[in-house]
């Protein structure tokens, strides 16, 4: 069996000179690349954005070839988790090459980093771009698939469709190299059919030429692949004529599913039938058909019976075509579905909001969800004063766009720009002063702080918790074992502090001690003050964090619940119970001599040497805390 080599691959351009069309994009890219020669440019990464098959990937490789750069590529077939990106791209970005040349890091289809496997990938990319010593190139079809932070960090270079007149010489060259006599009309036809996608044009040429030495235009119409209909032409067919058959044929030639097509018709039907003293009745009738088509689309989804797509298509296309009672001449600029645009905007706003929430979460040792729901307002208020705004911006590492969002502005005013610039200066200064640990370490060291009675867990646990959380996406971060009192690492007013406490208590819950010996969550009235520490230090194994819903009613003894029988209302969101807790029954928890390593640090807590119970609680600490079980271990 002979192996058929794809011509598109065989004739992939090797140098920038061979790239067809998109001259400006190629020039901009070369200019950016040349900025890497004297040192590190302001924008360390570029985004090559554009439709499929217009030469983005080829241009990236051709640039590396022309500049004499090595290439490291991570494409969509590789698993691109945050870990892999950091390992491959991160290490490539932070190291110099053997002979001091540059190394181009290409992330192809960077807008397709979604799904569980690619979690955290965007954040990893942003982190790498900020500190890379090597040029980075992100290739995307849809730039909105990237987070605003990444977009801010990169220079964007747009690639457009390749014009058919530019394609013709490239296709001729392929014919010459393959020894095929192709008529100019045939080449022209292939170029026009391709709709700006040179890869498709080359594929069409290969398909048409297979088994032939001479290629005429007739061969193209019979042997070429299905030619993509242009959506705008289909809209015209539907809205300008009443010929259902032709409209349906045109719609079938489209590279759109009925689920997408219905949005196009929905968007343009009212615009078309309202033009030229439009008729409301026509619009109503048209939407009547669309709603029935939508019913079928719903059934397709529900039953996974794609056979019903044909009824949906028929209803939407023919229904929209025949619902007009008069012709609607004149030009109408058909629009892409505004729903998609809105969704794109919403998505980028949502990404922006989540980025901020995750930064606040990291800063305040809270989950992203908690930060999003409860701390936004607070941090936003802290941006009101100029000095505190600068400090917050620096501490959180906010990008300009994020600062605008969090401060509630719509654009970068002079004041915001100034805050941002000063925060950047502060960051630069801070980096130079490695001894200013407090600034760079926003949370005070837990061991060194005198914890309030409601905040006790050992730092080893905290480290384990943090590292396990970091491997997850921030949304799945939990506040288990986290810092129970918010400590922002900078001076905040007593009012603000009170506000934080209120916000916590109102929104998610309160912190109450957890008793290991009884296996119960103590009611909120049971504070550390009421614990007889001398007698029960051993008992006080850890701190439980429960939502207010759990504390309803009077905290009577019969309200106490054992961990093994958590109520349904006990949502893991507000009270993240580690998975392994399920396997722990109350008997295990209530082992009387189970050593514990997490006990509240209480002011002047008596630690009498003669007290056997106090000694018993100290002893396991010395022997090895790793073997000790706490609530956070489960
Ligand atoms: N502008 C171009 N100049 C020369 N050849 C091109 C051009 N665009 C596409 N081609 C041909 O199409 C093939 C695929 O191009 P390439 O992979 O660079 O497209 P792309 O824009 O990166 O597409 P995708 O977004 O699908 O990855 C190339 O191997 C080449 O043969």
pLDDT digits (tens, 9 = 90+) for 559-578: 333 333 334 433 333 334 44
Considering only CA atoms, which of 399, 397, 439 is closest in space to residue 416? 399
Given a cut of 60, whether residue 62 has pLDDT beyond it is yes
Output the pLDDT for position 281: 92
- Judged against a pLDDT cut of 90, whether residue 580 lies above it is answered with no
CA geometry: angle at 278 spanning 276 and 282, to 5°? 140
> Residue 174's pLDDT band (boundaries 50, 70, 90)?
very high
What pLDDT, on a 0 to 100 scale, did the predictor assign at position 88? 75
CATH number of 164-223: 1.10.8.60
Please tell me which residue, 285 or 108, carries the higher pLDDT value: 285
pLDDT at 103: 87
Sheet of strand 70-74, all strands in order from the earlier edge strand to the far edge: 70-74, 103-107, 136-140, 45-49, 154-158
**How much is the average pLDDT of 79-88?**
71
pLDDT of residue 194: 83
How far apart CA 534 and CA 538 sit, in angstroms, is 9
Give me ligand 1 centre to Cα 208, in Å. Answer: 19
**At how many degrees (to 10) do helices 258-273 and 338-364 cross?**
120
- Per-residue pLDDT band for 321 (boundaries 50, 70, 90) equals very high
> pLDDT at position 114, please?
54
What average pLDDT does this structure show over 237-265?
88
| Residue ranges around ligand 1 (CB below 6 Å) | 8-9, 11-13, 19-22, 52-58, 141, 162, 170, 198-199, 202
Q: What is the DSSP letter of 158?
A: E
The predicted model gives 497-523 an average pLDDT of: 41
> How confident is the model over 4-60, as pLDDT tens digits?
678 999 999 999 999 999 999 999 999 999 998 888 888 999 999 998 889 999 999
What stretches of 219-276 adopt beta strand conformation (E)? Answer: none
Round to whole Å and give the CA distance between 511 and 548. 10
Q: How far is the CA of 13 from the centre of ligand 1 (A)?
A: 8
> Positive or negative CA dihedral for 183, 186, 188, 190?
negative
Determine the 3-state secondary structure of 228 from DSSP: coil
Kindly report which listed range (268-272, 511-515, 549-553) carries the lowest average pLDDT score.
511-515
Is 273's pLDDT higher than 80? yes
Residue 549 has pLDDT above 90, yes or no: no
Is 147 among the annotated ligand-binding positions? no
- Residues 513, 452: Cα–Cα separation, whole Å: 12
Atom of ligand 1 nearest to the CA of 9: 29
Q: Which residues does 312 contact at the CB level (< 8 Å), separation at least 6?
A: 258, 262, 293, 294, 296, 297, 300
Local structure of 215: helix, strand or coil: strand
What residues form DSSP beta bridges with 49?
140, 158
- Confidence check: pLDDT of 61 > 70: yes
Q: Which atom of ligand 1 is nearest to the CA of 162?
A: 1
**Average pLDDT for the chain:** 71
Nearest ligand 1 atom to the CA of 54 is: 8
Indicate the pLDDT class of residue 289, thresholds 50, 70 and 90. very high
Q: pLDDT confidence of 212, banded at 50, 70, 90?
A: confident
Of 54-68, 391-405, 436-450, highest mean pLDDT: 54-68
pLDDT, position 270: 92
Write down the pLDDT at residue 241: 86
Give the distance (Å) from ligand 1 centre to CA of residue 587.
65
Q: Which residue has the tokens 């217009």?
A: 54
CA distance linking residue 516 with residue 151, whole number of Å: 50
What are the CA-CA distances from residue 307 to residues 295, 296, 297, 300, 312 (Å)?
Answer: 14, 10, 10, 8, 10
pLDDT above 80 (res 500): no
Structure tokens belonging to residue 503: 């916000």
Ligand 1 centroid to Cα of residue 62, in Å, is: 11
* pLDDT band of 80, cuts 50, 70, 90: low
The whole-angstrom distance between residue 286's C-alpha and the CA centroid of its chain comes to 38
Mean of pLDDT values over 322-336: 87
CA 37 to ligand 1 center in whole angstroms: 27
Q: Please report the pLDDT score of residue 502 as a whole number.
A: 54
Q: What is the dihedral of CA 409, 410, 414, 417, to 10 degrees?
A: 80
Per-residue pLDDT at 82:
67
What is the number of other CB atoms lying within 10 angstroms of the CB of residue 452?
A: 15
Q: What distance in angstroms lies between residue 54's CA and the mean position of ligand 1's atoms?
A: 5
Bridge-partner residues for 176, per DSSP? none
Task: Name the residue with the closest Cα to ligand 1, atom 7.
Answer: 55
Would you give the end-to-end CA distance of the chain in angstroms?
A: 59
Between CA 432 and CA 21 the distance in angstroms is 46
| The predicted structure's pLDDT at residue 76 | 66
Tokens of 102: 């540059």
Query: Which pLDDT value is given to residue 48?
Result: 94
pLDDT of residue 156: 93
Tell me: is residue 50 an annotated ligand-binding position.
Answer: yes
pLDDT of residue 215: 84
Using pLDDT thresholds of 50, 70 and 90, give the confidence band for residue 533: very low
Nearest CA to ligand 1 atom 24: 52
| CATH code, 7-158 | 3.40.50.300
Q: Is the dihedral of CA 451, 455, 458, 460 positive or negative?
A: negative
Give the per-residue pLDDT at 499. 53
Residue 66 has pLDDT above 60, yes or no: yes
What is the rounded CA–CA span in Å between residue 24 and residue 619? 73
| 174 known ligand binder | no
């Amino acid at each position: 069996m002979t192996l058929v080599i794809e011509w598109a691959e065989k004739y992939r351009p090797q140098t920038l000179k061979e790239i067809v069309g998109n001259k400006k994009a190629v020039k901009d890219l070369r200019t950016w690349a040349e900025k890497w020669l004297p040192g590190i440019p302001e924008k360390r990464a570029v985004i090559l954005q554009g439709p499929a098959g217009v030469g983005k990937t080829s241009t990236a490789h051709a640039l590396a070839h022309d500049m004499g750069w090595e290439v490291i590529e991570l494409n969509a077939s590789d698993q691109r988790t945050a870990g892999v990106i950091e390992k491959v791209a991160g290490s490539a970005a932070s190291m110099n090459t053997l002979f001091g040349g540059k190394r181009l890091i290409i992330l192809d289809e960077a807008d397709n980093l979604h799904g569980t496997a690619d979690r955290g990938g965007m954040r990893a990319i942003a982190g790498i771009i900020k500190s890379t010593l090597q040029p980075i190139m992100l290739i995307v079809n849809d730039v909105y698939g990237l987070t605003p932070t990444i977009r801010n960090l990169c220079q964007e270079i747009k690639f457009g469709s390749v014009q058919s007149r530019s394609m013709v010489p490239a296709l001729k060259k392929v014919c010459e190299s393959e020894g095929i006599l192709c008529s100019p009309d045939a080449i022209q036809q292939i170029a026009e059919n391709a709709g700006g996608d040179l890869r498709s044009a080359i594929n069409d040429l290969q398909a048409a030429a297979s088994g032939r030495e001479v290629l005429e235009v007739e061969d193209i119409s019979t042997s070429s692949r299905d030619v993509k209909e242009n959506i705008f032409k289909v809209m015209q067919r539907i809205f300008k004529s009443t010929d259902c058959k032709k409209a349906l044929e045109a719609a079938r030639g489209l590279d759109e599913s009925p689920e997408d097509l219905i949005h196009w018709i929905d968007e343009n039907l009212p615009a078309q039938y309202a033009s030229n003293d439009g008729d409301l009745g026509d619009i109503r009738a048209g939407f009547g058909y669309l709603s029935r088509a939508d019913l079928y689309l719903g059934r397709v989804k529900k039953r996974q019976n794609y056979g019903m797509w044909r009824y949906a298509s028929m209803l939407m296309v023919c229904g929209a075509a025949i619902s007009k009672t008069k012709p609607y001449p004149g030009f109408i600029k058909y629009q892409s579905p505004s729903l998609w645009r809105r969704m794109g905007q919403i998505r980028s706003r949502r990404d922006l909001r989540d980025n901020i929430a995750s930064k606040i979460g990291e800063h305040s040792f809270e989950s992203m969800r908690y930060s999003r729901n409860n701390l936004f307002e607070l941090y936003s208020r802290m941006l009101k004063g100029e000095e505190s705004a600068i400090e917050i911006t620096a501490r959180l590492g906010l990008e300009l766009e994020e600062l605008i969002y969090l401060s509630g502005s719509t654009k970068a005013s002079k004041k915001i720009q100034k805050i941002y610039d000063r925060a950047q200066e502060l960051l630069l200064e801070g980096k130079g002063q490695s001894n200013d640990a407090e600034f760079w370490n926003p949370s005070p060291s837990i061991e060194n702080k005198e914890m309030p009675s409601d905040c006790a867990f050992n730092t080893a646990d905290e480290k384990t918790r943090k590292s396990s959380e970091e491997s997850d996406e921030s949304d799945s971060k939990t506040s288990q074992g986290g810092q129970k009192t918010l400590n922002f690492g900078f001076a905040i007013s007593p009012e603000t502090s009170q506000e934080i406490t209120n916000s916590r208590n109102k929104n998610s819950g309160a912190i109450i001690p957890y008793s290991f010996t009884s296996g119960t969550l103590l009611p909120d009235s049971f504070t550390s003050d009421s614990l007889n520490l001398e007698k029960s230090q051993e008992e006080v194994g850890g701190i439980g964090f429960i939502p207010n819903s759990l504390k309803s009613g009077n905290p009577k003894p019969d309200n106490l619940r054992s961990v093994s029988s958590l109520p349904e209302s006990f949502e893991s969101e507000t009270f993240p119970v580690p998975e392994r807790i399920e396997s722990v029954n109350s008997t295990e928890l209530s082992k009387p001599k189970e050593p514990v390593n997490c006990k509240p640090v209480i002011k002047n807590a008596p630690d009498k040497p003669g007290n056997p119970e106090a000694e018993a609680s100290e002893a396991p600490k010395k022997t090895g805390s790793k073997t000790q079980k706490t609530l956070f271990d489960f």
